[in-house]
Structure formats: C-alpha cells, structure tokens
Structure 1
Amino acid sequence: MVTSAETPSRQGSGKDVDKHHVSPSDIAVGVVIGRTSEFFDFFVFAIASVIVFPQRLFPFVDPLQGTLLSFGLVLLAFVARPVGTAIFMRFDRRHGRVAKLTLALFLLGTSTVAMGLVPSYAFLGEWAIIIMALLRIGQGLAIGGSWDGLASLLALSAPEKKRGFYAMVPQLGAPIGLIVAAMLFSYLVSNLSQGDFLDWGWRYPFFVAFSVNVVALFARLRIIASPEFQEAFETRELQPSRIRDAFRSDWRAIWLASFVPLASFSMFHIVTVFPLSWVYLYTDETLTFFLNLTAVSAAFGLGSVVLSGYLSDWYGRRRVLLWGAAAIGAFSLLAPTLLQGGKTGESVYMIVGFLILGISFGQSSGAVASMFDSRNRYTDSAFASALAWLFGAGLAPLTALFLSTTLGLFAAGLYLLSGAIATAIALWIARQLEFQRQG
C-alpha cells in the first residue's frame, strides 16, 4: 500500500527517500514521551488531591468533604480542556503547530510548578484555594492546547496490518506516568514524617513534573519541527480547520466519538484516584502500601495496553472495544465487594481493574481518530478527545466518591456500568452509520 507521504519520496532520488521517509517508530517515541509527561502531571495533582489538598486547602471541613472539594479542583482542568483546544486550535492556524505546542507546554509547566509553591489555607486563607483553582484551569487549557496530531499521524502512518498495535502506543503514557507518580509519592511518604511531608515534601513531585515537561517539549519539537514531519502532516491533511466549519459539518460525529471511549475513561479514574480516596478515608491500610499497589497494578495495565494492540489487529478494534465495555460492565458489579475485601480484595480490585482498563483504554484514542474523514480529522479528533475526557474521566472521582459515601459502593459500580452501556450504544450507532455510508 502506497501512502501519500511515500509517493514524493519514491519519485525522487535516494537522498530524497531518506529525507522524506516518515518512520512510525520515530513518531511513537515522540508520542510516548509527550503523553507520559501529560499523564505524570495529571497523576501528581490527582494523588495530591487525596493525600495533601484536603488538609492544606480545606482544613475547615471534614476529610470527606475536603476530598470532594479537591476532586472539584480535579474537574476544573477537564472543563477547561475543550476551551483550551478551541483557543490553541486558532493559535495553531495563525502561528503554526510548533509555536502552539511551545506555548501550551510552557503554560502546562509553569502552572504545574506554581502549584508546588501555593501556600496553605492557614497562611493565605481562601486565596490559596482560588490560586490553586486558577492554576488547575491553566493546566486544563494547556492540555487542550498540547494536542499535536502525532497520535493521528502515527495511526495513519502505521502498516495496515499493525494499526491496532500502533494505535495503542499513545496510551502507554498513562500507566508509565502513573507508575512514576505513585512511586515518587510512596518514597516521600515513607521517608518523611507526616508533618514534613505536608509542609514541604509534597511539593517535590510538582517540581519534577516541570522538569519532565521540559524534556518532553524538546523531544516533541524535535519531531514536529522537522521538514519531513511537516510534509507528513500536510499530505495526510492533519491540519487545523476552522472550528465553526468542523462543528457545522461534523457535530454529530464529534458527539458520538466522545462517547465511544466513555467506558475506558470512566474506568480510568475508578481504578486510580477513586480507590485511593476510599482506602485513605475508610480503611486502615497504610498509604505506602496502596501507592505501591497502584504502581504494581499500573505495570499490569501497561502490559494489557500492549496486548490490546495485538488483539485489535487479530480481531478488529470495534470488537476489542466491545469486549472491553462488557468486561468493565462485569467488573462494575464485582468492584464493591472487592474493594471491601481487605488487602487481598483491594489487590484483586486493582490488578484486575488495570488489566481490563488496558484492553479498553489501549484502543480508545485510535477509535476516535478513525471516525473522521481527512477533511477535519485534526480538529474533530482534538475536540472529541477533550469532550470524552470531560464526560468520562473528569466527573468520575467526584461522582464515584459522592455516590459511594451516600448510597454505598454499589452505586459507584452502577455509575461505572452506565459508562460501559454508553460505550456499547455509541459503538452500535457508529456501526450503523458505517453501514449506511457503505450502502
């Protein structure tokens, strides 16, 4: 199969072939580094929202309400993400992808490192909460602007029989970022007194996140700024289109695509932030134990993401996503019992949860990009992804903790089940629309 990026190369000299060849492995490196930095930032804030912010920012309420308020801060970034996508998409059209990515990652890095400098409520009062909220919004705007199209380029550049494998590559950043964040917090918690950790120790992961962002920025710019990748983006029509035009012609597809990964994005928080909050608030387990368990479980999830690529190439992406939604639905019914089963039940909950998450999450982004034609694929995919994260992941920790504490853990399971059902319906509708186009 000859792609549009390969055609000019084959028509030129041997030197031109080397110059214009776009290697999927090169794209994969940039994608993994970029996604790892973004998810590391995300998990640093998410973990701190459970074990730090309720005491530093919301000491005037009980621990449960403090955690719910902290999850409200978590949600702010997901609300701001579609807005950031719109702002930076326009910036992309006017000034180019390199300038957009530089500005977005600069905003992400400065917002993150500034979070580590915010004083406590005892020192600054309500202004401490307001400043943290503004910085969290800054993170969300930056994440929306950091969409670089590399994941879509990777999916389009991959060999036809390996598209499932390459589609899962961007998703590797989530478990890698979680492993690093969980282990870093575990080290600090186990080696510092509680007073020292809450006073200054918690700040270090935010400073580390800034360093990771700098490395990721240069790694991604090195790829995106190269002439061969600029040509690859152009030949595959991965260019920002006008937002108004994209929504006018594709608004139904954007909304539908935002529900396709809903199950995996909901599951994403149900096995990361939510169980940490439940165990921290309502069990006697040590924080170090559960952070280490989270890192180990994420390693299982990493392997499961890789497996999803092979399963997708063997059986098809839609079938793998349906299997994932069914498995998430079954897990939602067992999860309440497992999470109340002590160390053994918690371990099974986390490991099995991450194994299921990896299968579904590994193909979720590839499924979104594949639903759009080349005309508006870049813009449509960016907005569909931002909306999916808002509906699926942004609301999950707050909703799950609130439901489980007011109605019982079974209610959190039913919430997860609703996400699995929504994904199954969205996949069915997408299939019917595909049949209509083919007919």
Structure 2
Amino acid sequence: MTTTEANAQHSDVTFDDVIITVVMARVTDFFGFFVYAIASALVFPAVFFPHLDPMMGTLWSFALFSLAFLARPIASLLGRRLQLVIGRAGKVTVALMILGVSTVAIGLLPGYEAWGIGAPIALAALRFMQGLGLGGAWDGITLQLKAAAPKGQSGLYSMVPQIGGPVGFCVAAALFYVLTGFLSEEEFLTYGWRFAFFAVMAVNVVSLFARLRLLSTNFAGDDEVVLRSAPLGELMSQEWRTIVLSALLPLASYALFHMVTVFPLSYSLLFTESNLSSILLLQLAGGTLAIVTVILSGVLADKFGRPVVLWISSALILLLCLSIGTLERAPAIYIILGFVVLGLAYGQSSAIVPDRFKPQYRYSGAAMATNLSWILGAAFAPLCGLVLAWTFGLWAAALYLLSGVIVTAVALVLLQRQ
C-alpha cells in the first residue's frame, strides 16, 4: 500500500485524535512505569526480600528497578531489526505484548516465602523483560507531532507527550493510595498490590489499539525520511556527538523524576514517622501542579526559547537541593516544590536537540539518545539517593540532583556553542 493510499484509508483520523492518542500512549507507559516504581519502595522489600533488613531489602529492590533501563538499548537494537521485517506497527505490537505479559506475570509472582531465592530472580528477569518491551515500543509519534507543529508553536506541541509523565504518576499514586487506605497492611502485601499490575495490562490493551490506528496514519506529511531506521554504523559515525549531547541534556530532569516520586516514599518509610497516605496525597497534589507546569514550559519555550526554560529549571533545581532537608519534618515543601520544578524541566528537556539530527538519522538517533538518558539520569537515582542519605544524611542525596544540574548545564553550553 502506498503512502497516498494509506492516507486516504485513514483520513478519518483528526489531529485531535493524534493529540489524544499521543497523550494516552505516554500516560499508559508512565502508569506502568510508576506502578513498578512505587511498588519497589512499598511492596518488594517486604515480599521479595523479607530475609533482609528493611534498608537492604529496599536497596536490592531499587537495584532490580534499574534493570529495565539497562534493557532498553538492547531492545532498541533488536527493534531495529524487527522493524525491517514486520514494520513499525508490528514491532510496537510485539513490544507492548512483551511489556504486558511481563507486567501481569509480576502481579502473579509468588513471594520469597513461597519460592525462596527464586522469587527475586524471577522478578529480576521479568523486570528486564519490561525494559525490552518499553525500549521496543519506541514509535516515533512524538517526532511526527513535533514536525506537524505550526510555526511558533513547537514548544506547545513538544510538551504534549511529556504530560504523560505527571499524569501517569498521579494515576499510579492514586491507585496505591486507595489500595493502602482500604486494605490492611497484611492484605495489601498479600494480594492488594497485585491489582495495580493487572490494571496496567488492561490500560495497555486500550492504548495498543489507539497506537496502531495512529501509526498507520501519516498525519505529519511526508514522514518516510523522519521515521527511517538508519544503519547503526552510519548513525554512530555521523551523529555520535549529537547522540551524546542529546543523552546528557535531560539528566537534571530525569534525575529529579525519581527524586520527587520514589525517593520520598522510601525515605519516609525507612527514616521518618510520616504517614504513607499523607506522602502519597502530597505527591498527588504535586503531580497535578506538574501537569500545569509542563504546559507552562511549552508556552515559555515558544516565547523565550527552550534553552531559557532549561536554564531556569536548572536554577530552580539548585534551590530544591537546599530544601531537601525538609523531608524530615515538613515533606510538603520539598515534594510540592519538586513537582513544580519537574514540570518545567521535563516539559522541554527531550525536545531541544532532535532537530540537530540530520533528518535521515532523527528517528534512530532520538531513540538511542533517549534510552541512554534514562540510564544515566534515572536508572540509579532511587538507589544512589537512598545510599547517600543512609550513609551521610539527606544533604548528600541532594548531590545526585546537583550532578544532574551540572551535566545539563555543560550540555546546554556546548549546544549553544554549536
């Protein structure tokens, strides 16, 4: 089928459908992402590492959490080959099936008391499979959306997929708030937490059909070049500088992502007397504000430019580092401020560099850079933050955020000198 025939066949897809589907796809991705992330702090230490003390159990849980990020570059390489055989829609379907099956399997997995050491080993294997599914599900829709943006509105259009982050977190946090509020601790740890993973599968099925409808629609015009998978050797030799720069630029926002979501939950449970429900409520309020500031980032980017937005958000992260001590007695200050800054930082962090790729390398280069960014900035954030706080105190956990700000600032300087 030619591109013209495909367009005629799917002419019923409006641009509103495109926006809704992009948001739905990203909300689905992040909902599943944060269901696992929150469970890593609240559930897995007790279910899969009960033979260890709470601190060591949480550290092992966070170590397994990072496996999905390490799997994503592997999935991208495998996905490149698979896409040549069954096409982009087929690749995304297979990837989401792997993601869905592994997610449900985690919800069905017996704990340490039933399987012994086999339980955390199985959890690690399934977490790695989740990473393969997430990495393989890269669909390039956000590149099309950015290409379709009217002149002067690129910032607004680029922030649309980013809304999925805070919305997905809010849905996941709300689900755990209900489960922990209506079930006893024993009921929650025995079976309640499993419903969250089953919910992820249900949402994934709906998202898959929406994605498939959209993937067959050329809504951005001639996307044959933009969505081409470039040969790996050629990509690396021609665009390695842009890939590195693209991977380093979002580190401040990606590090912040977990330092205001997962880290406060684990720290509060291990080191403070704070009520879990109150922390989740604060995070829900913060996540709602983050949705607003993601949208604000698009408005500011169109008016002042994306580099200005990233400089402002990086400066605000520095202020947030000074407030991290409030997690001890007044967690609302750090959590609310953190989510507000997260929206500004995350809203434009991944959209500033893709245009610097040559069109024929944009699809593959953006996928590779995104996967590297998540590994460098987010994969080990909960683990590093908790180790630093446990060893030296809360002030040391802020060093992880500070390192992300420094890397982002250096990348911004290099970008502006090009």
Q: Settle same-fold status: TM greater than 0.5.
A: yes
Match of 2:117 among 126, 144, 168: 126
Pick aligned residue for 2:255 from 231, 249, 266: 266
Q: Which residue of 2 aligns with 1:356?
A: 341
Counterpart amino acid of residue 271 in structure 2: Y
- Give me the whole-angstrom Cα distance separating, in 2, the residues matched to 1:304 and 1:94: 41
Amino acid at match of 1:47: I
The amino acid that maps onto 1:315 is: F
Distance in 2 of aligned mates of 1:19 and 1:99: 18
Match of 1:395 in 2: 380
Structure 1 partner of 2:223: 233
Q: In 1, are the aligned partners of 2:99 and 2:134 still within 8 Å (CA)?
A: yes
Distance (Å, rounded) in 1 between the aligned partners of 2:222 and 2:21? 15
Deviation at 1:239, TM superposition (A): 1.4
Backbone CA RMSD of aligned residues: 1.9
Indicate if the aligned counterparts of 1:108 and 1:142 stay in contact, CA closer than 8 A.
yes
Say which of 39, 49, 67 aligns to 2:30.
Answer: 39
**Residue 274 (structure 2) aligns with:** 285
Q: Which amino acid aligns with 1:184?
A: L
Q: 2:66 aligns with which of 59, 64, 75?
A: 75
In structure 2, what is the Cα distance between the partners aligned to 1:299 and 1:205?
20
CA-CA distance at 1:209 after TM superposition: 0.3
Q: 1:238 to 1:23 in 2, by over 3 A?
A: farther
The 1:34/1:20 distance shift into structure 2, 3 A limit, reads same
1:66 aligns with 2:66: no
CA contact (8 A) 1:64 1:281 kept: yes
Q: Secondary structure at the match of 1:367?
A: coil
* Matched residue type, 1:112: T
* TM score, norm. by length of structure 2: 0.96
The answer to which of 380-389 and 275-284 deviates more is: 275-284
Q: In the alignment, is residue 426 of structure 1 matched against residue 411 of structure 2? A: yes
Secondary structure of 1:237's partner? coil
Deviates further, 255-264 or 21-30 = 21-30
Instruction: Tell me the residue number matched to 1:3.
Output: none
Distance (whole Å) between structure 1 residues aligned to residue 13 and residue 303 of structure 2: 25
Letter in 2 for 1:409: L
Paired residues, what number?
415
Share of identical aligned residues, percent? Answer: 44
What is the alpha-carbon distance in structure 1 between the residues aligned to residue 24 and residue 202 of structure 2? 13
CA shift digits 1:79-134 (9 cap, x unpaired): 11111111112211232101000000001111111100010101001111111101
Q: What corresponds to 1:197 in structure 2?
A: 188
Identify the match of residue 338 of structure 1 among 326, 331, 338.
326
Name whichever of 354-363 and 238-247 sits farther off: 238-247
Alignment of 1:20-419 (within 5 A): 24-226=15-217, 228-229=218-219, 232-234=222-224, 236-335=225-324, 337-340=325-328, 342=329, 345-419=330-404
Code of the residue aligned with 1:320 in structure 2: it is V
- Given that 1:93 and 1:241 are in contact with CA atoms closer than 8 Å, whether structure 2 keeps it comes out as no
Distance 1:24 1:338, change over 3 A: farther
CA distance in 1, matches of 2:172, 2:323: 27
Q: Which runs of 5+ in 2 are unaligned?
A: none
* TM-score between the two structures when normalised by the length of structure 1: 0.91
* Aligned-partner Cα distance in 1 for 2:220–2:303: 32
TM-superposition CA deviations, 1:359-389 (whole Å, max 9, x none) = 0100012124233120200000000000001
Q: Secondary structure at the match of 1:50?
A: helix
CA distance in 2, matches of 1:154, 1:369: 12
Indicate how the Cα distance of structure 1 residues 258 and 273 shifts in structure 2: closer, same or farther if over 3 A, else same: same
Can you list the C-alpha shifts for 1:231-268, whole angstroms capped at 9, x where unaligned? 6421x522111122211211121011100000000011
CA contact (8 A) 2:255 2:378 kept: yes
The CA deviation at 1:213 is 0.5
In 2, distance between residues paired with 1:233 and 1:110? 31
Unaligned runs of 5+ in 1: 1-7, 10-15, 434-439
On the 8 A contact 1:224/1:230 being kept in 2, the answer is: no
Letter of the 2:374 counterpart: W
Partner of 1:4: none
Contact 2:323 2:333 in 1 (8 A): no
Q: Which amino acid aligns with 1:196?
A: E
Give the letter for the 1:361 counterpart. Answer: Y
Q: Cα distance, 1:291 vs. partner?
A: 1.3
Residues 144-182 of structure 1 deviation map (CA, whole Å, 9 limit, x = unaligned): 111100011111110121100011011111111111111
**Counterpart residue type for residue 115 of structure 2:** L
Give the whole-Å Cα distance in 2 for the aligned partners of 1:53 and 1:260: 32
Q: Distance in 2 between matches of 1:377 and 1:217?
A: 24
8 A Cα contact 1:24 1:154, kept in partner: no
The residue matched to 1:348 in structure 2 has which SS? helix
Structure 1 counterpart SS, 2:223: helix
Q: Any idea what SS the aligned residue of 2:193 has?
A: helix
**Mean Cα deviation higher: 367-376 or 44-53:** 367-376
Please say which of residues 22-31 and 158-167 is displaced more in the overlay.
22-31
1:331 deviation in Å? Answer: 1.3
- The question of whether the paired residues in 2 share the 8 Å contact of 1:254 and 1:384 is answered with yes
User: d(CA) in 1 for partners of 2:199 and 2:394?
Assistant: 35
